[in-house]
A = this chain, B = another copy of it.
Amino acid sequence: MTTNASSTQDRLRGVFSPVLTPFNRDLSPSTQHFIKHCSWLIRQGVGLSVFGTNSEANSLSIGEKRGLLDALLAAGIPTDRLMPGTGCCALSDTIELTRHAVTSGCAGVLMLPPFYYKGVSDDGLFRSFSSVIDAVADPRLRIYLYHIPPVAQVSISMKLIERLLKAYPSTIAGIKDSSGDWSNTEAMLREFQPAGFDVFAGSEAFLLATLRAGGAGCITATGNVNPGPIVALYQHWQDADADQRQLALNKTRGVFQKLPMIAAMKAAIAWQADDSAWSVLRPPLVELDTAQYQQLQIDLQACGFTMPEASELAVAD
């Protein structure tokens, strides 16, 4: 078995969130809201997978992503908690964004496979990742593969991981498994985690199971809105009440999951922060309608949901 050459010290662990991207009314990214939200998440103990699926990252241009990342760094967000998504359809875009993240000092990058062409071969995907690694050519690069077949429709197979780990043991650092298929996460934990390939569950629904199987944590959308209890389970997973904590997390997650999730999370923040700017989504996604918004409030209140210090997420007009 190939052993990952990264030192333990380098390795990211814990709870990360694909950070929601706030927009202005004119649909441009709201840098001010973004910095406030990232700062708040860091204070809650959540790492920043900016530019993930739930960040509407694929609705942003490379220039917009570079600009947002630069704004975070200028605001003093710690690079050792940054794992930006950098995988795009176009090889040249992935290289540009990955290089920018690495030279900016980000601890890792979360990399989607190129996702426009369907039914592509593992040979083609291997070439995609290896072309990026060879072009960036920076020993600091740590890639977390991003497996999300329900959305990307292009998968990262066990065979591909094995091949990448063999070719680039110090660069291929781990995976976010958003397949929603626990048997897949389990197989990765069994086959690759012992070699230092860090497996993150794609949602907190699998956080306890992942930690019990030796995994690194989770990268979860609802970290944007429910960070405290998720981080608490990560910290207390060996305590007697861990299963109860997991059940409570699942209940809150269920409220968001039964609605269009990105819109629901933004609506929850708009409500808690009392800042309606938070409810804007970039097309093709749309905000909740009034009935959905009211149902969300009722269901969240029934869970005892609150966001601590939510007023800090608001931006004065």
Contacts and interface: CB of A to CB of B under 8 A. Distances in A.
Interface of A: 27, 53, 58-64, 89-93, 96, 113-118, 120-121, 123-125, 127-128, 131, 150-154, 282-286
A89 B58 contact: yes
Contacts of A96: 61
Contact of A113 (B62, B90, B123, B284): B284
Nearest to A126: B283
Contact of A128 (B116, B154, B284): B284
B128 A91 contact: no
A280 to B, nearest CB: 12
Copies in the complex: 2
Contact of A60 (B90, B124, B151, B282): B90
Contacts of A284: 113-114, 117, 120-121, 124-125, 127-128, 154
Contacts of A27: 91, 131
Interface centre among A128, A283, A286 (most CB of B within 10 A): A283
A49 B242 CA distance: 57
A53 B116 CA distance: 9
B283 A131 contact: yes
A114 B154 CA distance: 17
Nearest to A112: B116
Nearest to A64: B92
A117 B112 CA distance: 13
Interface centre among A64, A114, A117 (most CB of B within 10 A): A117
Given A59-B114, A115-B116, 15 more contacts: A58-B89, A58-B114, A59-B90, A60-B90, A60-B92, A61-B92, A63-B92, A91-B283, A116-B151, A117-B151, A120-B284, A121-B284, A124-B284, A125-B283, A131-B283
Contacts of A282: 91
Contacts of A91: 27, 59, 282-283
Contact of A124 (B92, B93, B153, B283): B283
A283 B90 CA distance: 9
A154 B283 CA distance: 13
Nearest to A152: B116
A40 to B, nearest CB: 25
A274 B84 CA distance: 44
A91 B63 CA distance: 12
Contacts of A89: 58-59, 89
Contacts of A283: 91, 114, 124-125, 127-128, 131
B127 A286 contact: yes
A106 to B, nearest CB: 21
Closest 8 pairs (CB-CB, A-B): A58-B116, A124-B284, A127-B283, A128-B283, A120-B284, A61-B92, A58-B89, A124-B286
Contacts of A121: 284, 286
18 contacts: A27-B91, A27-B131, A58-B114, A60-B90, A61-B93, A62-B62, A63-B92, A64-B92, A91-B282, A116-B151, A117-B284, A118-B153, A124-B285, A124-B286, A125-B284, A128-B283, A128-B284, A131-B283
